[in-house]
């Protein structure tokens, strides 16, 4: 049976030392072919080793388009991570997705504008990155086994949640205009909108890690 090593990706709220026991910041992570990753911590949850990556940096000083997604995921892969649980804040596009709800994402629509590397293959060859090209299947968009584990955990905890949700991932850092939100809701039939799912989800899959994401609704978009 293969070893499962879990990483949690999220914002600066995950720097809360009460989340994990024996927390330590990893300060000697080697540089990746894409440069330096965001801050990574190592700790324990119920006796199991868990890595926590602060997507936007420890000081929350990286916008969604400035996050070094390739470096972050490469660093986690080198640490032996096999499964990633990502967290993200989101705006709701539909009334039944209420502020405070947790949404286990089931699909995404990539509306980023090309400022982000959307693959790790062939994008840093000169620095030791992999060559070639990957035509990546994207159905399902997230690992179904990991999604089911998240859903079951939410059921057991009694937390308000949605078991499915399509997110529109926008470039940011600005929020959507009203007209854009109407298009996302009425034309794309999406439930929520956020800024960090793409290309994080697809690059994790390229690197062979199982990835699922849980979004918290913060407001009505």
Element (H, E) at 91: strand 83-92
Task: Tokens for 74, please give them.
Answer: 């490469």
User: Quick check: is 24 in a domain?
Assistant: yes
User: Quick check: is 199 in a domain?
Assistant: yes
Can you give the pLDDT at residue 28?
A: 79
Task: Tokens for 58, please give them.
Answer: 């420890």
Residue 159 CB burial class (10 angstroms; 0-12, 13-18, ≥19): exposed
Can you give the pLDDT at residue 1?
A: 54
Element (H, E) at 71: helix 69-78
Can you give the pLDDT at residue 14?
A: 66
User: Quick check: is 179 in a domain?
Assistant: yes
Task: Tokens for 165, please give them.
Answer: 């949700």
Can you give the pLDDT at residue 19?
A: 78
Distance CA(26)–CA(3), nearest Å, equals 21
User: Quick check: is 165 in a domain?
Assistant: yes
Tell me how many domains the chain contains: 1
User: Quick check: is 102 in a domain?
Assistant: yes
CATH of the domain at 116: 3.40.50.1580
What backbone phi and psi angles, to 5 degrees, belong to 4?
Answer: -100, 125
How are the residues of the chain apportioned to helix, strand and coil, as percentages rounded to the nearest 5? 25, 30, 50
Task: Tokens for 169, please give them.
Answer: 């991932």
Distance CA(18)–CA(4), nearest Å, equals 23
Can you give the pLDDT at residue 68?
A: 96
Walk along the chain (221 residues) in steps of 10 and give the mean pLDDT of each run: 87 68 86 94 91 87 94 97 96 96 97 92 95 94 98 95 98 95 97 97 98 96 88
Can you give the pLDDT at residue 18?
A: 73
Segments forming the whole domain that contains residue 119: 6-220
Residues carrying an active site annotation? 219, 221
User: Quick check: is 216 in a domain?
Assistant: yes
Distance CA(112)–CA(116), nearest Å, equals 8
User: Quick check: is 1 in a domain?
Assistant: no
Can you give the pLDDT at residue 128?
A: 94
């Amino acid at each position: 049976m293969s070893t499962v090593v879990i990483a949690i990706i999220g914002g600066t709220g995950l720097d809360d030392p009460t989340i994990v026991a024996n927390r330590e910041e990893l300060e000697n992570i080697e540089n990746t072919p894409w440069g330096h990753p965001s801050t990574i911590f190592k700790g324990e949850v119920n006796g199991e080793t868990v890595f926590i990556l602060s997507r936007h940096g420890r000081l929350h000083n990286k916008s969604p388009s400035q996050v070094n997604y390739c470096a972050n995921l490469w660093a986690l892969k080198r640490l032996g991570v096999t499964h990633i649980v990502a967290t993200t804040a989101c705006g709701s596009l539909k009334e039944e997705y209420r502020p405070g709800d947790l949404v286990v994402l089931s699909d995404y629509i990539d509306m980023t504008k090309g400022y982000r590397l959307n693959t790790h293959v062939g994008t840093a060859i000169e620095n030791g990155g992999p060559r070639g090209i990957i035509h990546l299947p994207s159905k399902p968009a997230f690992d179904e086994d990991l999604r089911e584990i998240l859903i079951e955990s939410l059921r057991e905890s009694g937390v308000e949640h949605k078991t499915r949700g399509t997110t529109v991932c926008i470039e940011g850092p600005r929020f959507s205009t009203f007209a854009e939100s109407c298009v996302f809701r009425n034309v794309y039939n999406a439930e929520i909108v956020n800024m960090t799912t793409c290309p994080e989800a697809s690059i994790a899959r390229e690197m062979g890690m199982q990835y699922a994401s849980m979004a918290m609704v913060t407001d009505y978009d």
